[in-house]
Each structure stands twice: as structure tokens, then as C-alpha cells.
Amino acid sequence: MTSLEDKFEESKRLGLQIVKESEEDRLMTLSIGPQHPGSGHFRFTIKVDGDYIVYCDPDPGYVHRGEEKMSEYRNFIQNIPHLERPVIHDSTNITYAYSLAVEELVGIEVPRRGQYIRAIASELNRQVYTLYWLAIYGIFLGHSTMFMWPTGDRELFIDLLEALTGARVTHAFNIPGGVRNDTPDGFKDRCIRQVRYFEKRLKEYEDIFYNNPLFRQRTEQVGVLTKEDAIKLGVAGSVLRASGIPYDIRKAEPYDIYNEIDFKVQYMKTGDSFARSYVPFLDMKESCHIIEQLLDKMPQSGEVRAKLQPNPKGPPGEAYRRVESGRGALGYHIISDGTPKPYRVKISVGSFRNMLALPFLLVGQKLADMPSVYWSLNYWPVEADR
Amino acid sequence: MSSNNNKEEPKKPAAAPPAKPSTTKTTAPAKPATPAAAKPPAPAAPKPAAAAPPPKKEPEPPAFEKGLVDEIKKKFGDSIKTVFIRPLRIKIQVEPRDITEVATFLRDSMGFDHAESVTGTDYPKDGQIEVTYHLGSYSRDDLGAQVLSLTTRTNRDDARLPTLINVYKSVEYHERETFEMLGVYFDGHPRNERFLLPEDWADIPPLRKDFRIKGR
């Protein structure tokens, strides 16, 4: 039998153009996104050696809009509508932290009823976001039902938010000093009815998706992020909680009325893709309880927002306030120089922080596991780009 | 949708700003100079720490936070400048040459185990750029709500700082963003390069104050 070397010699002698493959030839560079259906407006370059990913480099910025720079040109109130653009599906939460920071700078006290309505709106909005995320996760893994169900059930909360705020997706509902308007008639009953229905649906989600052996095989023990690494990488939100750290801003640093609400921080210890996808689901369940409590405890009457001067401004200073959004801690660092426009606005978002975990987790994985790892990071490209 | 929106919000806070902008807008083109002149006093204020903002809050710095600052001061003495101590928020300022050492101490001895964000702020009046590391803790429960702002300032014309990537891995992308948005070069950072901006970006770093949005 001729050896491989001999064969090459033979082929050379015969004048055949057969060349041996070099090490580099084995690596193939793939560009995931920015037009990939699952990636969002985000690209990352990976190199694969056969089936395995050996290199990953995120390349964000396709939807960078300069929100931070734009904020410096508008006053504190004008900033609200454009600041919610990074995550229109979670627009109440992203303006929540902004409102808290401006309130601290300007020195506004929010009426109690306003605080409750705010919290209700942000919990409803978190559900909207998580359902949207779950829908994409489902279709990304080839589970069409899990795309359609959450997309349909999302309408429950969108309808509630529409009744509350007047808009379906971009609400601009939180403003410094409270919320834009009061709850409509019969909101409480409707809200409780729809939330209870949704709780029943969650059971079905669990049966068809989370307990699906195929889904489990694709996610369990895939892309494990240990507790130590999670801390080192400074990840946020469900990614952090899936790695065994029960950290939730609502509990760690309760804002508004969250210290009056009884809830548990949902977390898991395995740190794999399954945990990262299951923690948001547990959060949705817990959020249903929170909404019911908020509706029960909400003062029946009263102001929903504090009186604001037309062009609010405060003394020079700075504030850093955080809320728990659908993607983890979301903070605003606002520096004011005493004028009605902020001097500098920094938006610190969970997505941007979780992006660091992407190359860390992907290298060493099989290419087929890329979708389950990538989207389990709860990464929202538009938010990361700002 | 939007008509519905407008119907429901003819109330003051929403209606007032649109009225105001017209005034601000007309003055805006002329103003840039004045705000710029008015702004720096704010950043400068932290230095005479007791001057402008603190008076209402400073009188009784919360005990826990003060304890943390005292611990840092015990180790580093006067090289640590306390900018403010408020409930759950501490801001300290250090010289660039000390920052790595201070950050290592904060991580190893104080339990601030990750950086949440890195912010740069341009102060053209002082000729400086302030870089702020927001540090938090996941491993110590009592620090969960604390955010420690570790700040340092660098010369605006030759903005260079040592990187903290060896202390806090989590600053990698944040520092890279600060590099491209404010032009602060982080010595020792493996990739001081383009991140969010377009590849063919050929202007000054956009978050510097002398960069103006077109038409504004």
C-alpha cells in the first residue's frame, strides 16, 4: 500500500495539480450577521475548524445611533422619546432608569400612585420583551411553535400597555416625576384577568418547549458559564442569574416601591444555555405575581405625577441610577451642569456587558450550538449599540 | 396610535417642553459657547468638594459608605480624593499612575469584583477628560447596591491612561468604546480600535465636546 506521501510524489510526477492542505486552509471564516435572521443587527466573525469554533470576534455598531451624544442636545424631557429607541420592546424600563436619575438630579418626589403605575408598566413591558426574545430563541432553534405562541401572547401585554399608555410599543410613559397618565377604567380587572390567563399559558410553554427533549439536548451542558467567570466578565441579568448569582436590582437596590413587594430572585446554578433560557421564563412567572401584588397594593386614588417646572433643571451634579430591565441591570449616569440639558449621559446596558461572554462561550463549541449559546445571552444588538 | 397619544397627553410636562425647545432652539446656535463656559464649573465643583452640590447631602455622609472610603484612605492616604459620599454611591478620584494599584486593592480587599461601565466625560474648559469606572460587587451581599465610581483625569490633548483590563476583565469593551468615543488611549489594552462607529469614520471622537452634530 502506498503511503499518503508517496501518493503526492506520484501525483507530482504525473503532473497532477494535487496539493496538500495546510493548517490555515482548514480554518473557515464565517460571518454571522448582520443580515442573518437570528443575529439581529449584529455581526460576529467566527472561524471554524471542522465543526468547532476556534475564534470569535463580535462586531457591533450596525445600529449605533449616538443616543448619548443626542442627549446632550435636548433637554431632560425631550430626551425621553429617543432614549427608548434602543429597546423599543422594553421601552418603559429603559426610560425608567433615566427618569429616576433625572428625578435625583432635579429633586422631584414621585407620588405613590405614580410609582405603582410605573412599576406595573415596567413589569408588563418586561413580559413583552421576554416573550419577544423567547419567540426569536424558539425560531432560532427551529421550533416554530415557540415563535408563534409568544408572539401571540405578547399581544396580551401590548394591549394592556396600549390601554395604559396609548401606544403599543414605544410608550414614552415614564417621565421624570411619575407617569404620563392614570390607569383607564377597569384596568385592574382586565390586567388581572389577562395575567392569570397568561400564567396558564406558561405551563403550556414549559410542556412544549422547555421539557422538549430536543430542546434540552441542544441546550443542556452547552456553553457553560461558571459562577467565577460570570463575575469576572461582569455579565448582567438572566445570564448572571443562570450562573448561580441571585442578583437582581429590584432586590439588591430596590427603587420606587419594590421594597414593598414580596418576590423571589429567580436563579439557577448550572450556567448552561438551558439555564440562561429558563431563568427569563422563571422571571416571567414571578413577574405575574409581582403585577398582581402591585395592582392590589396600589393606592386607589391620588396624583400620578409630580408637578414639573416647564423646563426642569437642577443644581450641577451627577446621578447614577439603575433598574432591572429584561436584559439585566440598566443604568444611567447623567452629569448635569445646572442647565436644562444634560452635560453627559451614559447608558450602561446589560447587552453590552453580556457581549463579552459571547467569544468566551463560543470558542470551543460546535457551530451547531452557536444559536443556542448566542441567543441565550439575552443580547439585544440595538441596545448594545445605543 | 400617535393621535391617541396626543389626545391623552395635553398635560403640562409633556406639552411644556415642546414649547420650550423653540426658545432653546433659537438661542442654541449662539449658546454653545455659553454652556461650554457654564459647564466646566460643574466638573470643577467636585474639587472644592463642599462647594456647590454637596451642601444638602454632605452633612451626614452615610456611615457604611463612609466606612468604605475610610478603608481605602487608610491604605492610600491622600492620593485618594473623595468627590462625594452619598447613600449607595461613592465617587473617588485618583491620579492615573495610582489607578491600577487602587483598582487591584478594591477588587482583592474590598470585594468590588466587576466593572459595570466605563464612562468618559470631556471637560474642554479644564483641558481634561474624566474617565469613570463604575464598580460593583456580585460576591458581597452588603455591597450589592453600592456603585463605586473610580475616576481619573487625563490631559485632553494627549489622552492616555493605563488600562484596567488586567484587574477587571469586564472593562474590555467599555474601554474600547471609550477609546473610540473620546479618544482616550488605554496603554496596555490589546485593542484600541474601532468598535461601534463606522469603519470609515474619519472625524474627531464624537463624544468630545468640540464634535458637533451636523446642523446643530
Task: Tell me, yes or no, if B36 comes closer than 8 A to chain A by beta carbon.
Answer: no
- The predicted pLDDT at position A1 comes to 55
Please report the residues numbered 334 through 353 in chain A whose beta carbons come closer than 8 angstroms to any beta carbon of chain B.
335-341, 343-344, 346, 348, 352-353
Please name the residue of chain A whose CA is at the shortest distance from the CA of residue B199: A61
- Is A5 part of any domain? no
Task: Tell me, yes or no, if B64 comes closer than 8 A to chain A by beta carbon.
Answer: no
- Is A50 part of any domain? no
- The predicted pLDDT at position B31 comes to 41
- The predicted pLDDT at position B16 comes to 40
- The predicted pLDDT at position B143 comes to 82
- The predicted pLDDT at position A130 comes to 92
Please report the residues numbered 233 through 252 in chain A whose beta carbons come closer than 8 angstroms to any beta carbon of chain B.
233-234, 236, 240, 245, 247, 252
8-state DSSP, A89: G
- The predicted pLDDT at position B59 comes to 57
- Is A266 part of any domain? yes
Task: Tell me, yes or no, if A167 comes closer than 8 A to chain B by beta carbon.
Answer: yes
Q: Is the pLDDT of residue B87 over 80?
A: yes
Cα within 13 Å of Cα(A42), Cβ side = 21
Q: Is the pLDDT of residue B9 over 60?
A: no
Number of folded domains that form chain A: 1
DSSP string, chain B: -HHHHHHH--SHHHHHHHHHHHHHHHHTTTTTHHHHHHSTHHHHTTTTTTSSSGGGTTTS--HHHHHHHHHHHHHHGGG-EEEEEETTEEEEEE-GGGHHHHHHHIIIII---EEEEEEEEEETTTTEEEEEEEEE-SS-GGGTT-EEEEEEEEESTT-EEE--TTT-GGGHHHHHHHHHHH--EEET-S--S-SSS-TT--SS-TTSTT---TT-
Superfamily of domain B11-187: NADH:ubiquinone oxidoreductase Nqo5 subunit (3.30.460.80)
Per residue of chain A (386 residues), what is the pLDDT tens digit?
567 788 778 888 887 777 777 777 788 888 887 877 676 788 888 998 888 898 999 988 888 888 888 888 888 888 888 888 888 888 888 899 999 999 888 888 889 889 999 999 999 999 999 999 999 888 888 888 988 999 999 998 999 999 988 888 888 888 888 888 888 888 889 999 999 999 999 999 988 889 989 888 888 888 898 988 899 888 988 899 999 899 988 888 888 888 888 888 988 989 899 999 999 999 999 999 999 999 998 888 888 888 888 888 888 888 999 999 888 889 999 999 888 889 999 999 988 988 888 899 988 888 888 888 888 888 888 888 88
pLDDT bin (cut points 50, 70, 90) of residue B56 is low
Domain span including residue A274: 67-354
- Is A41 part of any domain? no
- Is A100 part of any domain? yes
The grid cell for B195 is 468598535
**Chain B neighbors of A343, CB-CB under 8 A:** 39, 42, 121
Q: Is the pLDDT of residue B79 over 60?
A: yes
Kindly determine whether residue A315 and residue B43, on different chains, have CB atoms separated by under 8 Å: no
The grid cell for B128 is 481634561
- The predicted pLDDT at position A281 comes to 92
- Is A95 part of any domain? yes
DSSP string, A214-257: HHHHHHTTSS---HHHHHHHT--HHHHHHTT----HHHHS--TT
* Closest CB from A166, A167, A231 relative to B113: A231
The side-by-side arrangement of strands in the sheet containing B114-123 is B81-86, B89-94, B147-155, B128-136, B114-123
- Is A23 part of any domain? no
- The predicted pLDDT at position B41 comes to 44
- The predicted pLDDT at position A2 comes to 65
ipTM over 0.90: no
Q: What is the CATH number of the domain that holds A230?
A: 1.10.645.10
Residue bearing the bigger pLDDT, A81 or B33: A81
Please list, residue by residue across A225-242, b when 16 or more beta carbons sit within 10 angstroms of its beta carbon and e when fewer do: beeebbbbbbbbbbbbbb
Report the distance separating Cα B115 and Cα B131, nearest Å. 13
**Chain B neighbors of A166, CB-CB under 8 A:** 1, 4-5, 7-9
Total count of residues recorded for chain A: 386
Please report the residues numbered 129 through 168 in chain B whose beta carbons come closer than 8 angstroms to any beta carbon of chain A.
132, 134, 138-139, 144-145, 147, 149, 168
pLDDT tens column, A141-170: 888 898 899 999 999 899 999 998 888 888
Report the distance separating Cα A212 and Cα A12, nearest Å. 55
Task: Tell me, yes or no, if B87 comes closer than 8 A to chain A by beta carbon.
Answer: no
Backbone angles phi, psi at B50, to 5 degrees: -85, 0
Q: Is B55 exposed, middle or buried (0-12, 13-18, 19+ CB in 10 A)?
A: exposed
Helix (H, G, I), strand (E, B) or coil at A21: coil
Per-residue pLDDT averaged across B59-78, rounded?
A: 77
A vs B: CB pairs below 8 A: 168
